[in-house]
Amino acid sequence: MTKPSEFALIVFAVCVSSCLGFTYGAGAAKQSKYTVIGRVYCDTCRVEFETKISEPISGAIVNLECKNRTNDVSTFKSPDISTSSTGEYKIEVTGDYEDSDCDVNLVKSPREDCNEPTEAWRKARVVLTAADGVSGDARYANNLGFKKKEAVPQCKQILTEMGYYELKGELGTEVAP
Binding site for ligand NAG (CB under 6 A): 68, 70-71, 75, 99
Length of the chain: 177
- The rounded Cα 64 to chain-centroid distance in angstroms is 7
Query: Which amino acid, 159?
Result: L
Using Cβ positions, the residue closest to ligand NAG within the complex turns out to be: 68
Measured from the CB atom, the residue of 35 and 68 that comes closer to ligand NAG is 68
* Cβ proximity of 141 and 90 under 8 Å: no
Minimal distance in Å, beta carbon 128 to ligand NAG? 12
Burial of 123 (0-12, 13-18, 19+ CB in 10 A): middle
Measured from the CB atom, the residue of 83 and 100 that comes closer to ligand NAG is 100
CB atoms within 10 A of CB 158: 19
Measured from the CB atom, the residue of 2 and 70 that comes closer to ligand NAG is 70
Minimal distance in Å, beta carbon 56 to ligand NAG? 35
Minimal distance in Å, beta carbon 73 to ligand NAG? 7
CA distance linking residue 134 with residue 125, whole number of Å: 15
Measured from the CB atom, the residue of 75 and 82 that comes closer to ligand NAG is 75
Minimal distance in Å, beta carbon 99 to ligand NAG? 5
Minimal distance in Å, beta carbon 71 to ligand NAG? 4
Measured from the CB atom, the residue of 80 and 99 that comes closer to ligand NAG is 99
Closest residue by Cα to residue 111 from 40, 170, 49, 51: 40
